[in-house]
A and B are shown apart, each in its own frame.
Chain A
Amino acid sequence: MSKKLKGVLRQIAIQLFLLLVTAMVLFPILWVVSLALDPRDIDKPLELRLIPPGASLQSFRKVLFEPFNLLCRDPSNPATCMKFGGLLRNSLLVALGTSLLAVVLGSTAAYAFSRFRFIGRQAGMLFFIVMIMLPTTGLLAPLYVLLSQIRIGSEPLRASLFGLVVAYSSGFLPFAIWNLKGYFDTVPKELEEAALIDGASVTGTFVKIILPLSVPALAVTVLNSFMTGWTEFILAWTFLDNPSRFTLAMALRSMQGQFATPWSEFAAMSILMSLPIVILFFLLQRYIVSGLTIGGVKG
């Protein structure tokens, strides 16, 4: 009896602890939701109410439809200011471009590192670790100089969205290559050999055997690289000159003023920005999980 009681108490203690952890994780999110709905522009909730007094969707409307008056080519002319739609387009271009480049270059490079023996293979992998350790902002100066040298027409590559994509993916690739190479290593070589005998070329085995079997690792690469491109703003602020190329992350950053911040709009913008990532995660989730069951050659 007392043993059973002990078990019950133990369970209660564990459950309470888990509830506490859940609350700690959820609280900031609820806080942001509450702020977004609060028209008073306060920086923290004054009471424990998810729906504040006088709640409205006013700030969402403002963020979505009104121009951002700090992001204008001509500050005196509101028509030249960026709106949510334009920022979203730029953000999507940058994030998807970063994803695409990371997956294409990452998987092909990782395949070479996984399957071919060449001089500098070990050294290359070590070098990538060093690169992973290096924060992207540490590369800001060299990237700025490098990308300014390359010109597309009259413009430096640095000032274009593609330049940003190049900068982000170069920062992300070392991780992508490590991650994908580790996964490719677990795909049995015999599967490729069977395909070679069946009539596939080396490229054919990569596309038809290795890639389909590595979907989980590819999904992780897509998700992480998309997030990098979607949320980064420091390089973007430094590199881009023309406000018509600015991104959502930059707009969010610009709202934090030196003297006053429109907290409701800031919170509303944060929520809107998190939605694509949440959606992408749900889309990719089943591929990431399926990686645990895909299995080897035997059973």
Chain B
Amino acid sequence: MASVTFDHVTKAFGEVIAVNDLSLEIKDKEFLVLVGPSGCGKTTALRCLAGLEDITSGTISIGDRVVNDIAPKDRDIAMVFQSYALYPHMTVYDNMAFGLKLRKVPKAEIDQKVREAAGLLGIEALLNRKPKQLSGGQRQRVAVGRAIVRNPQVFLMDEPLSNLDAKLRVQARTEISRLHKRLETTFIYVTHDQMEAMTMGDRIAVMKDGILQQLDTPQHLYDKPANKFVAGFIGSPAMNFFDVTLVGEDGELAVDSGTFKLRVPPQYRQVLANHAGKEVVMGLRPEDIHDKEFMPPLSFSARLKANVDVTELMGNEVFVYLMSGENSFVARVDPRSRAKAGMEMECVANMENMHIFDKQTEVAIV
């Protein structure tokens, strides 16, 4: 059990800066998810922590020990690789026992630990098989088993579920969460899948181009994204963005897209007042746009009309793809909605949940 600290860590491969000035504190026993699009430096950050890459600058600590110059085997960590990296010439048992044998753990203790871990993961029956005789889901469990037998202070997992099919992935997701609760150890989990991040993480660190964008709880990340990138990355379907101008009108404030004009709720007026007259980006999540006929009670809403492009019935809801002038957006509405492609729909936006981003810096204003 230990905390992990990245202090201004940078890792460059020649010209490419894979991790750029990353500062991150991971608490003891926390489940931290590192999420971001492919190539944003998640794997590199994890490999730096594991000691598989030398960092260009900064310090990494595990507990209160700086590990910059400590060999991977002495960092007291375990890692599950994206490819699992099971030793092909060893049985499942030997794969799991390998690390313990190298550490000269007595044979009886190795046996007990391997069997205990195998029992926990439901792979007792596979102990004598070679990796190539296992299915994808079984390999993933063996890889996790190999990590847990050693009782490390920190678990590192690099997209351990990305090779599984969708159904298995959901199941494995809950299993890993349960494992974390049971082991009470620090987990650092890398994924490009925001859904995995949202469902598994105590806190989530969102990265882009090697730079940490935001570190927060899932709920906070969803409700208060720090910038346009985080807002668009977290949530599915993604947040809608509208190019609008903030306009002052008889003491009130509104956003004007050219084709529609929406009033801004009073609580945001003060912050936005000094941006009046400026072009900004407004964000609205699909679930905050309703069909007027089936709208829930809202304390502050605004109406707009838009043309229906396509509708997708999902069973318990309908995704309506809409067009208004230059802006196209998605609404997640009541399944009873009568919206049809080609017709005009009257929508109601829940403006209390709106987001406003600076057009240049893309930083959230509200």
Q: Which residues of A contact B (CB under 8 A)?
A: 188, 190-191, 193-201, 204, 208-209, 212-213, 294-299
**Judging by beta carbons under 8 Å apart, are A191 and B103 in contact?**
no
Rounded to whole angstroms, the CA-CA distance of A212 and B89 in the bound complex is 7
Nearest chain B residue, comparing its CB with the CB of A194:
B85
**Judging by beta carbons under 8 Å apart, are B81 and A194 in contact?**
yes
B 204-231 contacts with A by CB, 8 A = none
Nearest chain B residue, comparing its CB with the CB of A213:
B89
Q: Which of B51, B87, B134, B136 has the most CB of A within 10 A?
A: B87
Whether B84 is near chain A, meaning CB under 8 Å from some CB there, is yes
**Judging by beta carbons under 8 Å apart, are B103 and A199 in contact?**
yes
**Judging by beta carbons under 8 Å apart, are A197 and B89 in contact?**
no
**Judging by beta carbons under 8 Å apart, are A188 and B85 in contact?**
yes
A299 with B79, Cβ < 8 A, contacts A191-B87, A209-B87 known:
no
A197 with B78, Cβ < 8 A, contacts A298-B163, A299-B132 known:
yes
B89 partner residues in chain A, CB cutoff 8 A: 212-213, 294
Whether B52 is near chain A, meaning CB under 8 Å from some CB there, is yes
A201 partner residues in chain B, CB cutoff 8 A: 73
Partner of A297, one of B77, B84, B98, B134: B84
Whether B72 is near chain A, meaning CB under 8 Å from some CB there, is yes
Rounded to whole angstroms, the CA-CA distance of A263 and B99 in the bound complex is 62
Nearest chain B residue, comparing its CB with the CB of A196:
B72
A199 with B99, Cβ < 8 A, contacts A194-B79, A295-B132, A299-B132 known:
yes
Given pairs A191-B87, A196-B52, A212-B89, 12 additional interface contacts (CB within 8 A)? A190-B85, A193-B81, A194-B85, A194-B146, A195-B87, A198-B98, A199-B99, A294-B89, A295-B132, A298-B84, A299-B132, A299-B139
B71 partner residues in chain A, CB cutoff 8 A: 196
Whether B271 is near chain A, meaning CB under 8 Å from some CB there, is no
**Judging by beta carbons under 8 Å apart, are A298 and B87 in contact?**
no
Whether B50 is near chain A, meaning CB under 8 Å from some CB there, is yes
B 62-92 contacts with A by CB, 8 A = 71-73, 77-79, 81, 83-89
CB distance from A5 to the nearest CB of B (A): 45
Question: Closest 3 interchain pairs by CB?
Answer: A198-B99, A199-B102, A190-B85
Rounded to whole angstroms, the CA-CA distance of A296 and B131 in the bound complex is 10
**Judging by beta carbons under 8 Å apart, are B132 and A193 in contact?**
no
CB distance from B146 to the nearest CB of A (A): 8
19 residue pairs bridging A and B, Cβ less than 8 Å apart: A188-B83, A190-B81, A190-B85, A194-B79, A194-B146, A196-B51, A196-B52, A196-B72, A197-B72, A198-B146, A198-B150, A199-B73, A200-B73, A204-B102, A212-B89, A213-B89, A297-B86, A297-B88, A299-B136
A199 partner residues in chain B, CB cutoff 8 A: 73, 99, 102-103
Nearest chain B residue, comparing its CB with the CB of A296:
B88
Rounded to whole angstroms, the CA-CA distance of A299 and B98 in the bound complex is 22
Rounded to whole angstroms, the CA-CA distance of A197 and B46 in the bound complex is 13
CB distance from B166 to the nearest CB of A (A): 18
B88 partner residues in chain A, CB cutoff 8 A: 191, 213, 294-297
B79 partner residues in chain A, CB cutoff 8 A: 194, 197
